[in-house]
Amino acid sequence: MSLCLELNELNMIQKKFGNSEIDLSVMGLGLAALGRPGYINLGHGDDLQHNYDEAQMASRTHQMLNLARKNGVNYFDAAQSYGKAELFLSSWLRQNNNKDVKVGSKWGYYYTADWSVNAEHHEIKEHTVDRLNQQWPESESRLKPNLMLYQIHSATFESGVLENTEVLERLEEIREQGYIIGLSLSGTRQAAVLEAALKIKIDDQPLFGSVQATYNSLEQSTGAMLRKAHDLGVGVIVKEGVANGRLTSRNQQANYIRTLSDMARDYQVGVDAIALAYILSKPFVNVVLSGAATETHLVENLKAADLNLSSNDLQKLDQLAMPPAAYWDERKALAWN
């Protein structure tokens, strides 16, 4: 049986996205855990009941999209490397014909797991103009007219993408067609990469109108740069708000879970809602993505939109920050499941 919260039970407000004229719900749904059999979230295989039949996974994704939409979510996040996420989302968009829904996708990784959980490589990065020219028309044809945002997937200094003139000029051509160009970030140098990206201009116009970064109570290193980006009119999307399951009740080994669990009991919500409400309290954040793969988890995630944490509790969560290297080492050690 599908779970459904009534819209009037949630305070799913919308915010203007950066300098655009687009209003997005403060919570969105990311499809990284829905479009492919394997992902690094804790308990992901259990969430899918280890049923990786493509038709079943497509149906599950549609149910999750329906539930999110019924509860005021109007932004959905995909990527070409998320298995069949774009295809699942595309078929749902065609069935629902909802013009109010906005979509963001990404290029630069391609899916290589062959629908297996135990693949040697699940995705491979390639930030070349050839890869961009291959993936862009595929994403556009699947997701328009709902597609609003196209992002470099996990931009890094090592890939050289921010210095690749061919890529930047091609992205500018896409921007001139009316799309927002963004970049997603990952790793210990997120803030430095964002700082470099904000300096890129073509014909005196900033190229990037959006950034999608990992930010949560454990990984706060991007906070100052995200605030700067927001102040410059860049839309800010936060991913991995529950740290791939480490900020949920599934993680009973870490000392910091006690802090969140105590708050969850006081506010009568789940640990994940506390983690996401912490991010939503930051004025520089436009959208926080839920990465839920079950209806129960999505319902619990969405409660964060109606949760106002006290200043004392926010300070306690501020104090949970880990050194970035330690955070990303832990993330790297998470198993695909």
In this prediction, residue 252 carries a pLDDT of 86
241-277 pLDDT tens trace: 999 999 999 998 899 999 999 999 999 999 999 999 9
Please state the rounded mean pLDDT for residues 278-300.
98
Please state the rounded mean pLDDT for residues 69-98.
96
126-155 pLDDT tens trace: 999 999 999 999 999 999 999 999 999 999
40-75 pLDDT tens trace: 999 999 999 999 999 999 999 999 999 999 999 999
Answer whether residue 259 is part of any domain.
no
Answer whether residue 64 is part of any domain.
yes
In this prediction, residue 99 carries a pLDDT of 85
Separation in Å, CA 4 to CA 68, 97, 302? 9, 21, 11
CATH code where residue 116 lies: 3.20.20.100
- Rounded Cα distance, 180 and 122, in Å: 28
Residue 151 structure tokens: 């992002």
Q: Are 72 and 10 in contact (CB under 8 A)?
A: yes
Q: Using pLDDT thresholds of 50, 70 and 90, give the confidence band for residue 122.
A: very high
Answer whether residue 191 is part of any domain.
yes
Q: Using pLDDT thresholds of 50, 70 and 90, give the confidence band for residue 11.
A: low
- Rounded Cα distance, 125 and 154, in Å: 9
pTM of the model as a whole: 0.96
Domain that holds residue 89: 20-244
- Rounded Cα distance, 166 and 130, in Å: 10
Q: How far is CA 27 from the centre of its chain?
A: 10
Residue 259 structure tokens: 């802090």
Answer whether residue 318 is part of any domain.
no
In this prediction, residue 136 carries a pLDDT of 98
The strand pairing partners of 180, in sequence order, are 149
Answer whether residue 221 is part of any domain.
yes
Rg (CA), the chain: 19
Answer whether residue 151 is part of any domain.
yes
Answer whether residue 3 is part of any domain.
no
Number of structural domains (the chain) is: 1
Q: Are 19 and 309 in contact (CB under 8 A)?
A: no
Answer whether residue 308 is part of any domain.
no
